[in-house]
Amino acid sequence: MRDSNPLNLRSLIAGNYDHIYIFTHLRPDGDAIGSSLALANALKTGCNTVEVFCPDVIPSRYSFLPGVDLFQDSFTAREGKGLAFILDCSDLRRLNNMGDKVLQLDKIVNIDHHITNEKFGDVNLIDASAASTGEIMYQILQHDYELNYEISLCLYVAISSDTGSFKYENTTPQTMEIAARLLEKGINPSYVSQKIFDEYPASTVFLLRDALASLQFDATEKIAWMVVNDETLRKHGAEASDLDGFVNYAKNIKSVEVGIFFYQTDNKETKVGFRSKTVDIASVAYSLGGGGHPRAAGCTLRGEPEEVIDKVIQSVTQLFCKG
């Protein structure tokens, strides 16, 4: 494994800042949460204050992670010099209303692996070849810090989440080598997998039943989609984060190239999640105002729910008309 040091963290923070703020994206996933907590756990013994922010609640399945209670969902800058790390976040819109306030801090370090990253930082460390932000954080942290069990656990959650437990095509030899180093620190993959993927409340499975009932295809059966709205969530006492991963049921059908999940909120916003087997879906998401990776991307659209669905299906259909 190449032993590069992509960012000299110790010299970056050495004595120059009173406060360190770590931010990650709304609707946080394991990579967002794990990367942020790995960094927070590493930096917390320094002489700066360290705070962690996410504009949404952290799903309860991550509550076993060390430091998860540090997360705050609203941000006000403190008096004094502030350094912000923004992790796993392709653009500042993904920080909701925290985005503008972040820009007022003294330095912004943007660490990410999205190909659509808008490079909004003073320092931009973007590696689209990394399977997760956790992988980049491992490279940074292992250079200067002792990777104890707590930090290793956070990194493992980040890395295993964004690779679908090491099965997506973004998984590389480097991903596996980093995972091996983390296992040497005492991480138990079975325990982590159980915590994140195998402890659903029954309400999530009933929600899945309704989501599957909405499954539809285009005429070619290359595109499949499911739709859920806030009313359905309320019916099951479920939260939006319970929908994570549902899109894979559409994508995993044999004939399907692109699976799409539509989540319609009460205020006429539709959150769209894309998963693809072979075509580049990030470009479609980006053209609709969102972003992501070639095989996993998303966007949020406003408007009449049915019109949004038509527009998105049309955009995806275009992918198969080219060439």
Q: Which residues bind ligand AMP (CB under 6 A)?
A: 27, 90, 94, 247, 273, 290-293, 296-300
Question: Could you tell me the smallest distance in angstroms from the CB atom of residue 159 to ligand AMP?
Answer: 14
Which does residue 32 bind out of ligand AMP, Mn ion, none, counting CB within 5 to 8 angstroms by kind? Answer: Mn ion
Closest distance to ligand AMP from the beta carbon of 245 (Å): 8
- Chain centre to alpha carbon of residue 163: 11
* Residue 112 binds Mn ion, judged by CB under 5 A: no
Among 7, 20, 31, 42, binds Mn ion (CB under 5 A): 31
Which residue, 119 or 268, has its beta carbon nearer to Mn ion? 119
**Smallest separation (angstroms) from ligand AMP to the CB of 229:** 16
Which of residues 297 and 316 has its CB atom nearest to Mn ion in the complex?
297
CB 290 within 8 A of CB 298: yes
Q: Find the Cα–Cα–Cα–Cα dihedral 91, 93, 96, 101, rounded to 10°.
A: 70
Identify which of residues 17 and 138 has a Cβ nearer to Mn ion in the complex.
138
Nearer to ligand AMP, 108 or 272 (CB): 272
Class of residue 220 by CB neighbours under 10 A (exposed 0-12, middle 13-18, buried 19+): exposed
Separation between Cα atoms, residue 77 and residue 181, nearest integer Å:
36
Contact (Cβ atoms closer than 8 angstroms) between residue 23 and residue 32:
no
- State the nearest-atom distance from the C-beta of 225 to ligand AMP, in Å: 12
Closest CB to Mn ion among residues 151, 159: 159
- Max Cα-Cα span within the chain: 61
Nearer to ligand AMP, 82 or 290 (CB): 290
Smallest distance from Mn ion to CB 190, Å: 23
CA distance to 98, 111, 196, 311, per residue, from 91 (Å): 12, 11, 26, 23
CB of 144 to ligand AMP, least distance (A): 27
User: Smallest distance from the beta carbon of 116 to ligand AMP, in angstroms?
Assistant: 7
CA gap 119, 131 in Å, rounded: 18
To ligand AMP, the closest distance from the beta carbon of 243 in angstroms equals: 9
The listed partner (ligand AMP, Mn ion, none) that binds 152, CB under 5 to 8 Å by sort, is none
Between the alpha carbon of residue 60 and those of residues 36, 112, 189, 242, the distances in Å are 16, 24, 19, 10
Rg (CA), the chain: 20
Residue nearest to ligand AMP (CB): 298
Asked if residue 32 binds Mn ion (CB under 5 A), the reply is yes
Which does residue 31 touch among ligand AMP, Mn ion, none (CB within 5 to 8 A, set by kind)? Mn ion
Q: Which residue is nearest to Mn ion (CB)?
A: 31
277 within 8 A of 257, measured Cβ to Cβ:
yes
Rounded to whole angstroms, the Cα distance separating 304 from 101 reads 31
Query: Does 135 help bind Mn ion (rule: CB under 5 A)?
Result: no
133-144 and 173-184 helices, crossing angle to 10°: 50
Q: Which of residues 242-261 bind Mn ion (CB under 5 A)?
A: none
Q: Between residues 27 and 222, which has the closer beta carbon with respect to ligand AMP? A: 27
CB contact set of 138 (below 8 Å; sequence gap of 6+): 38, 147, 155, 159, 178, 181, 182
Which chain residues interact with Mn ion by CB under 5 A? Answer: 29, 31-32, 88, 132-133, 162
